[in-house]
């Protein structure tokens, strides 16, 4: 069985998304499909379909069989971004205007809806033996992603969000889709349930580490690399791991200062600067990194328990390292 390189699998993903775009460009009304094409054209890392193909290739080299599932995952992920950006009032994604800023909120909502339905169409087009199991997994994941987004919005009106509540929210909003990608790839290749389950657990831990690093990059990253404005979470009063730990670690005077800034909606640049200074005083970057490292170690431990030749898991180890070594 051929083991493809990460670059080769990325080429499969890029070609499949290019094919998806070509087909959608022929659809009408154009005002519905142009925002979808714009979203998919932005590119991004395409981590989720890549993880799916890496997982699939652990058991099979008939990559073309898994491509519709990979397309479904990527289109669904981009649908969530369209709607999330509206709810978060985000203006930039991947260094370009977000869909609702480029077009309109109504366009972004409706085009996003279509993307969700298209993802199911792609899954239904497969001829996989475990198609029903993949559909069930995908549906449960879609529900959980929405649950995670709702929790994220609920947290906007709370100041008492706990670490465990936050970790549950990011598990649902972010990690379950990475886990779904890995398990769906295994199911597409007809892997046994135990192995598919372990790959799902690997994805959960990878997703938690990935989102925590996203939180970290939002405050301490390089905007040119990160693709977003630094301090966006602070400006929007988002409850992140960093803020939760800062409120937990701060003495009363520092906590009082932090609370004052949380109640400030104006002077965003000054607010971001002040909150970042508090984070630095409390060593929040290092505390967050320790939590990321904990989940990353869980990933390594899970891979070591897989009943798969170590050489075959190198792509999973490599992509994990790539995902968790973004630039600060």
Using DSSP, state whether 186 is helix, strand or coil: helix
Give the pTM: 0.93
Segments forming the whole domain that contains residue 265: 6-323
Number of domains in the chain: 1
Query: What crossing angle do the helices spanning 105-124 and 30-41 adopt, rounded to 10°?
Result: 80
| Domain-embedded: residue 115 | yes
In Å, what is the CA distance from 268 to each residue of 13, 18, 156, 238, 239?
39, 39, 17, 13, 16
In a domain, 146, yes or no: yes
Q: Are 4 and 61 in contact (CB under 8 A)?
A: yes
Tens-digit pLDDT profile for residues 125-139: 998 999 999 999 999
User: What is residue 328's predicted lDDT score, i.e. its pLDDT?
Assistant: 43
Q: Quote the pLDDT of residue 157.
A: 87
**Average pLDDT for 195-209:** 98
In this prediction, what percent of the chain has a pLDDT beyond 90?
Answer: 81
For residue 96, being part of any structural domain is answered with: yes
Q: What per-residue confidence (pLDDT) applies to 226? A: 62
DSSP string, 123-137: HHT---TTHHHHHHH
Q: Which pLDDT score is estimated for 266? A: 73
Tokens 């971001």 -> residue: 272
In a domain, 311, yes or no: yes
pLDDT at 170 over 50: yes
User: How many Cα atoms are found within 13 Å in the side-chain-facing hemisphere of 74?
Assistant: 33
Q: Cα–Cα–Cα angle for 253, 256, 261, nearest 5°? A: 130
The encoded tokens of residue 137 equal: 């997994």
Q: For residue 328, is it within any domain?
A: no
Instruction: Tell whether 293 is covered by a domain.
Output: yes
- Quick check: is 262 in a domain? yes
Nearest to 191 by CA among 56, 54, 5, 69: 56
In this structure, what DSSP letter does residue 306 have? S
Q: Is residue 287 part of a domain?
A: yes
**270: CATH:** 1.10.600.10
So what's the pLDDT on residue 224? 66
């Amino acid at each position: 069985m051929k083991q493809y390189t990460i670059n080769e699998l990325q080429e499969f993903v890029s070609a499949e998304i290019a094919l998806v775009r070509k087909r959608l460009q022929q659809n009408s009304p154009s005002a519905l499909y142009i925002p979808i094409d714009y979203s998919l054209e932005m590119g991004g890392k395409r981590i989720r379909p890549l993880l799916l193909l890496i997982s699939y290739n652990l058991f099979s080299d008939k990559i073309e069989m898994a491509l519709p599932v990979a397309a479904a995952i990527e289109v669904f992920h981009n649908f969530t971004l369209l709607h999330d950006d509206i709810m978060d009032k985000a203006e930039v994604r991947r260094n370009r205007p977000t869909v609702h800023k480029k077009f309109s909120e109504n366009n972004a909502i409706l085009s996003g809806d279509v993307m969700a339905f298209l993802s199911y169409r792609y899954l239904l087009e497969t001829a996989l033996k475990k198609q029903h199991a993949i559909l069930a997994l995908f549906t449960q994941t879609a529900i959980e992603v929405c649950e995670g987004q709702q929790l994220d919005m609920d947290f906007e009106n709370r100041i008492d969000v706990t670490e465990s509540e936050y970790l549950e929210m990011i598990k649902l909003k972010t990690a379950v889709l990475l886990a779904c990608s890995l398990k769906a790839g295994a199911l597409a290749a007809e892997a046994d349930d135990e192995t598919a389950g372990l790959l799902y657990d690997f994805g959960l831990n990878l997703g938690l580490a990935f989102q925590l690093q996203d939180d970290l990059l939002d405050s301490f990253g390089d905007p040119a690399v990160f693709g977003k404005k630094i301090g966006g979470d602070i400006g929007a009063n988002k409850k992140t791991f960093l803020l939760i730990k800062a409120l937990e670690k701060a003495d009363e005077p520092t906590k009082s200062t932090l609370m004052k800034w949380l109640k400030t909606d104006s002077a965003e640049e000054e607010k971001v600067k002040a909150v970042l200074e508090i984070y630095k005083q409390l060593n929040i970057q290092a505390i967050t990194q320790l939590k990321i490292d904990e989940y990353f170690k869980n990933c390594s431990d899970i891979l070591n328990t897989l009943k798969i030749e170590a050489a075959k898991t190198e792509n999973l180890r490599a992509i994990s390292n790539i995902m968790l070594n973004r630039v600060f």
